[in-house]
Amino acid sequence: MEQDKQVLIDFIKKNAHTSDRIVQEIVSHFECKNIPRNGFFLKSGKVSNEYLFLEEGVLRAFTLAVSGEEVTTNFFTKNRLVFEPSSLFIRTVSKENIQALTDCKGFSITYEKLNMLFHSIPEFREFGRAMLVKEFAAFKARTLSSITETAEEQYARLLAENPEIFQSAQLKHIASYLGVTDSSLSRIRRGFSKK
């Protein structure tokens, strides 16, 4: 069992200062989760009840614009935590969907067990706080980059930091994430292929 969860153990050890015994206690509450390609981790209109460590695969978060068009709000790649903070922690109905772009596997924990660990293990509470801060900082950086950087600069960073997205996501999903039209993204890609 421990070997199956080794990647999760390593992730928690890297991000939480605690003993091996406590890490083992934490991971014992996570269960293996597989999401097939096109399957949903979360659907809009539902309250999120899971916190996922993604070991393999790519997930896409998206919502619907007033026009009914899908707008990609985030991508999740391996070795990341996947959760919708408002829905999971405030218990509100999600306005986002989180869908698998590839077959995905990881380890999930329910909201109830997560809360139990937060209340009973101070090191895990600190780990959870650190992960929330990290996700908030990434969200803030992305918001600022959409204002202060060109689409080309944003594309270059996404390509450098998450190349697997380009192997798994449709171009229209990447375009909506970058806030550009499909044709603008095609032009940007052509420019990069000439460099």
d(CA 72, CA 94): 15
Domain assignment present for 195: no
d(CA 166, CA 171): 8
Which runs of consecutive H residues, i.e. helices, occur in the chain?
A: 6-15, 20-27, 85-90, 111-120, 122-148, 151-161, 163-168, 171-178, 182-193
CATH of the domain at 92: 2.60.120.10
- Cα distances (angstroms) measured from residue 66 to each of 18, 24, 94: 46, 46, 16
pLDDT of residue 1: 40
d(CA 74, CA 143): 12
Domain assignment present for 75: yes
Number of domains in the chain: 1
Domain assignment present for 117: yes
Domain assignment present for 100: yes
Domain assignment present for 178: no
158 token code pair:
């996404």
d(CA 188, CA 4): 41
Q: Which stretch of DSSP H or E encloses residue 55?
A: strand 50-56
pLDDT of residue 2: 45
46 token code pair:
């539902």
pLDDT tens for the chain, residues 1 to 195 = 445 899 999 999 999 888 999 999 999 999 999 999 999 999 999 999 999 999 999 999 999 999 999 999 999 999 999 999 999 999 999 999 999 999 999 999 999 999 999 999 999 999 999 999 998 999 999 899 989 999 999 999 999 999 999 999 999 999 999 999 888 998 998 888 776
Domain extent, residue 25, equals 6-121
Domain assignment present for 163: no
Domain assignment present for 191: no
Q: Are strands 59-64 and 40-42 parallel, antiparallel or unpaired?
A: unpaired
126 token code pair:
């600190």
For the entire predicted model, the pTM comes to: 0.90
Domain assignment present for 134: no
